[in-house]
Amino acid sequence: MTNNIAIVGLGYVGLPLAVAAANSGYKVFGVDINKKIVENINSGFSSIEDVSSKEVERLVNSGFFEASSDFQVISEVEIVLICVPTPITLNKKPDLTYLESAVKSVSQYIKKDTLVILESSVAPGTTRNILVPMIETYSGLNLDSFHVAYSPERIDPKNSSWGVINTPKLVAGITPKAFDYAANFYSKFINTVIECESTEIAETAKLLENSFRLINISFINEVSIFCRILGIDVNKVIKAAATKPYGFMAFHPSIGIGGHCIPVDPMYLADAAKAVGAPTRFIDLADQINREMPGYFVGRAEEKLGGLKNKKILVVGVAYKPNVADVRETPVSALINGLREKGAQVSWHDDLVKEWNGEESVKLSNDFDLAIISTPHDYLDLKKLGNVPILSTRGSI
């Protein structure tokens, strides 16, 4: 066997994985249909905050990493990792469009004994019942001629404590041989590899992880509203509760949940549960609370100013979390729309995002009736707002 691998999808999951694998000695062929991403990587530029351009340039120049939009490079590897988005539709149903397209393209070029690992978040049974039959159909091979494993990504952008190498990796194989093959691969650059007995267990574990976060973040947002009514600082309440060394995990209030995981994965779990007649009342309620948070802060702004018609509002931060430029599923979109529906003149500032929805970031200044701090990036200098009243979405009273 050679040390050639391919990673399909070079975003927030695929690119850090590619860098980690390349640093361990694998020759990584990155595949992405976005030609701009491919061009940037081959020119030594990183498209995400977690990976430095210097690191990408070093690996490209050393020959350990190259990107392409041509799936034919799959024919040169023995391991293929699929790290494409699995979003939800407007009706909150699983959208496997990107996954199905990637699998069709990959399958045309895999050869005997190739290992295909899916890292994208999917509903239980997807690897076994959708991925495997698709590979068989489009490759012309039977399952006994190739290997399939599932290993859900655990990427948290800009997390300085946990990254690809030190975050434990769940791995499951359709067959014991597929697991051994995948575990051996990941063990070359990941500290802890944990076996799951089936791909369904690994798939569901991923959905559980982020459903847990959705429910608890939505819960703390409700507690935050309660604390404001009482006139106490919810962040001080959380800090006090977090001194308990067992049975409590701190979650913090916000304008709502965004990104590629927490608002999405629970919907995959809920959809799968509904298909078999199982209840998901906690997830359904948490999703409702999450979606209501932007409207709550529209009401707070209206209350603070005595009305919003023709008021100049600056929304500070539009990314879904601090210190990243990712706007996928950002709750700030609903906040801005809600403010505008009330007649407010809304501008936004985010030097990481720069351009979004056909609009550009404006400078921080005192030329506003109110500033709403929705995503507190570390670079922000709020002194530039002068005497502009501030409404924080992070639990202030």
Residues annotated as catalytic (active site), given as ranges: 261
Please, what is the angle between helix 53-62 and helix 14-23, to 10°?
Answer: 50
- Strands (DSSP E) found in 60-161: 65-68, 79-82, 115-118, 147-150
Distance CA 80, CA 163 (A): 21
Cβ atoms of 224 and 393 within 8 Å: the answer is no
The answer to whether 332 touches 314, Cβ cutoff 8 Å, is no
Pairing outcome for strands 359-360 and 147-150: unpaired
**Rounded distance between C-alpha atoms, residue 332 and residue 217, angstroms:** 16
Q: How far is CA 251 from CA 66, 163, 241, 394, in A?
A: 39, 20, 11, 11
Spatial separation of the C-alpha atoms in residues 242 and 258, rounded to whole Å: 24
DSSP 8-state secondary structure symbol assigned to residue 109: T
